[in-house]
Structure 1
Amino acid sequence: MAASRLALISKKIIKPSSPTPLSHRIKKHSIFDQLNPCSYISFGMFFPKQYNPTLPVDPTHISTILENSLSRALTSYYPLAGTIRDDGLHVECNDVGAKFLEAKIDCPMSEIFNRNSAKAEELIFPTDLPWTPSKENLVVAQLNHFNCGGISIGLCVSHKIVDGSSLTNFINHWAAMARNPSAPIPSFQFDGGSHFPPVSSPRAEAILKSKTRGNHPCISNKYFFSRSKINSLKAMIAAESGTKSSSIVPTSVEAASAFVYKCIASNSTRPSIFTQSVNLRPIMKKWLPEEFQGNASFLFMAPEIADPADIKLHRLISELRKEKQMYWETKNLMSTMLEKVKSLQNQLERDHDDEVDVYKCTSLCKFNFRDIDYGWGSPRRMCLGSVPINKRILLMDSQNGDGIELLVSLKQEDMSALETNSNLLEFASPSLGL
């Protein structure tokens, strides 16, 4: 399937339905915003006609619903209609708006479900956009019409403004505005910068480079862990940890992510570090208002492991839990984070110099993607755009909630080794399509 099967119908700019007040014109970055790149997070949703009898037949009607509701949603999420300024420390909330593309795909939706996901992404996402940096048009959406009557929405949102949790909230808020055009527009707060200001630039730059580094061409593959396989994996890790009194019972995310990291690192002789991006909202409740939106995740780092043969999953999970517990117990979260930023800077700079392999894991599990409803039911399928960044692991719940899907990005030679790793294939199945 080639991108030539896609025909662009229209391209529009969607502005907020109400102007952003002057008092909200400048949004200062928080430390969490600062440590995230200007890249887009990409997320795709598929609504086949045969599974959605309430899906409007008229393509114009669908686009009108989505455009009007996006305009209302941007009134609440006003920084997403703004521009990231060159100082890298604030967003000008100037209502320049979001980009909305509409396209026709000359094939039935079923034809792409079992195809290579990268080829599907050429169609459903705006061209060359997923995970690329941008300081304007911080939301770009593409509505795709298949010739079977089904539609897909390819959405790209700036990581500088939202993390996985806020992305989920934004999509669900957009969908709520579509379901009920007369619903009141809620007010959210994007004031993380007042509570957690940014740190000195050199440290932030080291972390940012580690998140976007892609000097080597890399590819992305998907793997599926069924619920039964995850339970077996958790039992194996618990047994590995020793006596009942000291047993580690991992969560599903801990088990799957640590296991995949070990499978990748075992193909190397280099020292490695496993990091995990963790949602700090439960800890930050005492500092931030309930209406807060934006970035609130932070990178946790396990100790360096010099020899891949020494990777013990229960020990790795235990070390990460100690890191998290430190944040729960701290009385000064900002001070604790500043100390960790120093440590991250030192270790991630070593990754730039090829002294150590740093694997970065992010989980979108437990976020409310499956309940997205624009008025014609939840998506039949969802997908993340491939990540062209080496040594990245993304997790999300499978479509029907019976397991976890992992998106792994590696250099070609490392991916080839992972694809034949017998330990991995004992617990995970490769997912070749969407």
Structure 2
Amino acid sequence: MNVQVEVISKEIIKPSSPTPNPLRHYKLSFLDQLTPSSYTSLVFFYEFDGETQPAINEVSKHLKKSLAKVLTLFYPLAGRVKIDDHFVDCNDEGIAYLEAQVTNCRLCDFLNNPLPDELNKFIPFAQDEHIANEIALGVQLNMFEGGFAIGLCTSHKLADFLCMLMFTKTWAAIARDEVEIQRPQFVSATLFPPKGITGYNWGAGIAAKKVTKRFVFDASTIEDLRAKYTGLQNNEKQPSPVEALSAFMWRRFVGATKDDHADENKLHSLIHSVDLRPLIDPPLSPYSFGNIYGNSLTAPFLSSGDDDDGDQESSYGMVRRVREAISKIDKDFVKRLQHGDEQLSLIGRLAPSASKGEVVTSYHSSLCQFPLYDNDFGWGRPIWVSLPPLPVKDIIVFLDTKEPGGVEAYVSLAKEVMTKFESDTFLRRRVGTGRVGSASSCLIHQPVRFNQVVTFHTRNRASVIKKPTRTKLMKLGSGSICSVCF
């Protein structure tokens, strides 16, 4: 489906309170410096229940008011990024806020078969757009018939995905008038001081020519894979859901990159992004702001090698390799990283072989076990949380489904590789339906626009518009593997 989204209005939202002068100069950390100059994004979809519905202009007014309040806490996001000078001018110039109307489909129709590339229409900036305008945050409210979607873009120079979730969770809590609000902690530049870096390509890895597709695995499929890999060796610890899926998908990727005359000397490596907050001594709060991650490198191996006991579907050898690599991201790794040598050394080892095509490096990261579905702005929790395509190829990002135990995998590959990847026999028999949501949003028959106040009549009685409700939500958590960087 070619979704048509019409932007109705654009404005700038500024913090409700000015940022104190001593906080005007926000330094980027060493890890921020190494992060690509692009945007990371999420889209939260909310379904109306078919009986009551707020007027969309009231939804927008409520979101903007709470957004101005949360920006006083996350004040660097309301400033302007000075990439070349490695700091943010926290001048309260504000963030971009767009209102848009989906003109040709209902929410339930879109959720029947959501295509990742269509998600880019629900966010305010192109993710591969260089931040020439220096704006650190953008929000787009999209109105469907049957619900709405909130799309966010955050400068990856300032924040990883965990920070984005931290921001949305705090924003939602303020929108619900919660009393206890967790405040962000700006400690990254202290822990990882900026360094003078020369000869580093800020746009490395950015790729426009790629295809992104979404693959869904239900809980029973994942448990079957975990059991399969555990049974290959006695006394072996069962892999986590992400470890099992990561190895399974990597095996499929390696197979898809082979041409008809496979190069026996082609090497493959895998990078996982790992959250460092729980590994720092003492552990950091999940509300620590910045790019606080480390990259684990699964050592290159020959694509023709088979360490899986002849089972073409099995990926036990890859599970073992991934686990060993991630286990090396520990407190000692963090100490080396704080001196700056560890990350630069990794880049130095990968760059020459990657540029020559000798090593095919893929990237896996995960938002599993993070509270994606806890973002209730007062009208209920999201029916679906999605990831617009990242501006890189050879990357897989894992997200929890709303149903317990399931996982969505967003895969970005070159077109010719994707054709082989998605036709893999073992992948096809394990992938489930891509539909999300329910049919309740189809009860609404007329498009709802920003200037229209709507009430719904059930059982011959007009339903009143509900006010935002308070809800008690889970704390922000973290996992061993997280999508903090690509």
The question of a shared fold, defined as TM-score above 0.5 by the shorter chain, is answered with yes
Q: Do 1:161 and 1:294's aligned partners in 2 also have CA atoms closer than 8 Å?
A: yes
Separation of aligned partners in 2, 1:356 and 1:154: 35
Shift of 1:264: 0.8
Distance 1:164 1:139, change over 3 A: same
1:219 corresponding residue in structure 2:
211
- Deviation per CA, 1:226-272, whole angstroms, max 9, x where unpaired? 111111111121223x2x23x24211111101210110111324311
Report the 3-state secondary structure (helix = DSSP H, G, I; strand = E; otherwise coil) of the residue aligned with 2:330: helix
2:163 corresponding residue in structure 1:
166
Shift of 1:15: 0.7
Q: Do 1:272 and 1:308's aligned partners in 2 also have CA atoms closer than 8 Å?
A: no
Separation of aligned partners in 1, 2:378 and 2:289: 24
Q: Do 1:14 and 1:71's aligned partners in 2 also have CA atoms closer than 8 Å?
A: yes
Distance 1:2 1:238, change over 3 A: closer
Separation of aligned partners in 2, 1:266 and 1:407: 18
Shift of 1:348: 3.5
Q: Do 1:81 and 1:138's aligned partners in 2 also have CA atoms closer than 8 Å?
A: yes
Q: Do 1:38 and 1:134's aligned partners in 2 also have CA atoms closer than 8 Å?
A: yes
1:236 corresponding residue in structure 2:
228
Shift of 1:302: 0.6
Report the 3-state secondary structure (helix = DSSP H, G, I; strand = E; otherwise coil) of the residue aligned with 2:294: strand
1:12 corresponding residue in structure 2:
11
Shift of 1:119: 5.7
Report the 3-state secondary structure (helix = DSSP H, G, I; strand = E; otherwise coil) of the residue aligned with 2:231: helix
Select 2:137's aligned residue among 139, 154, 166. 139
Separation of aligned partners in 1, 2:170 and 2:246: 30
Report the 3-state secondary structure (helix = DSSP H, G, I; strand = E; otherwise coil) of the residue aligned with 1:431: coil
- Deviation per CA, 1:145-171, whole angstroms, max 9, x where unpaired? 1234x1111111111212121111111
| Residue 319 of structure 2 corresponds to residue 317 of structure 1 | yes
In terms of fraction of residues, the more helix-rich structure is 1
Shift of 1:416: 0.4
Separation of aligned partners in 2, 1:229 and 1:88: 48
Select 1:125's aligned residue among 123, 126, 130. 123
Structure number, greater radius of gyration: 2
Superposition pairs of residues 35-54 of structure 1, within 5 angstroms? 35-50=34-49
1:376 corresponding residue in structure 2:
379
Structure 2, gaps ≥5 residues long: 309-314, 438-486
Shift of 1:390: 1.3
Distance 1:131 1:405, change over 3 A: farther
- Deviation per CA, 1:80-128, whole angstroms, max 9, x where unpaired? 11111142522121111110000112232122112451463254223x6
Superposition pairs of residues 157-196 of structure 1, within 5 angstroms? 157-180=154-177, 183=179, 187-196=183-192
Distance 1:100 1:308, change over 3 A: farther
Distance 1:138 1:388, change over 3 A: same
Q: Do 1:233 and 1:427's aligned partners in 2 also have CA atoms closer than 8 Å?
A: no
1:201 corresponding residue in structure 2:
197
Report the 3-state secondary structure (helix = DSSP H, G, I; strand = E; otherwise coil) of the residue aligned with 1:346: helix
Distance 1:156 1:290, change over 3 A: closer
Q: Do 2:117 and 2:212's aligned partners in 1 also have CA atoms closer than 8 Å?
A: no
Distance 1:354 1:290, change over 3 A: closer
Superposition pairs of residues 297-316 of structure 1, within 5 angstroms? 297-310=293-306, 312=308, 313-316=315-318
Aligned-pair identity in percent equals: 29
Report the 3-state secondary structure (helix = DSSP H, G, I; strand = E; otherwise coil) of the residue aligned with 2:212: strand
Report the 3-state secondary structure (helix = DSSP H, G, I; strand = E; otherwise coil) of the residue aligned with 1:256: helix
Shift of 1:419: 1.2
Separation of aligned partners in 2, 1:152 and 1:380: 10
Q: Do 1:221 and 1:431's aligned partners in 2 also have CA atoms closer than 8 Å?
A: no
Distance 1:291 1:307, change over 3 A: closer
Shift of 1:209: 4.3
Q: Do 2:8 and 2:99's aligned partners in 1 also have CA atoms closer than 8 Å?
A: yes
Separation of aligned partners in 2, 1:417 and 1:263: 9
Structure 1, gaps ≥5 residues long: none
Q: Do 1:47 and 1:380's aligned partners in 2 also have CA atoms closer than 8 Å?
A: yes
2:335 corresponding residue in structure 1:
332
Give the total of aligned pairs: 421
Separation of aligned partners in 2, 1:121 and 1:274: 27
Q: Do 1:327 and 1:333's aligned partners in 2 also have CA atoms closer than 8 Å?
A: no
- Deviation per CA, 1:159-201, whole angstroms, max 9, x where unpaired? 1212121111111111111111x74765422221111123452
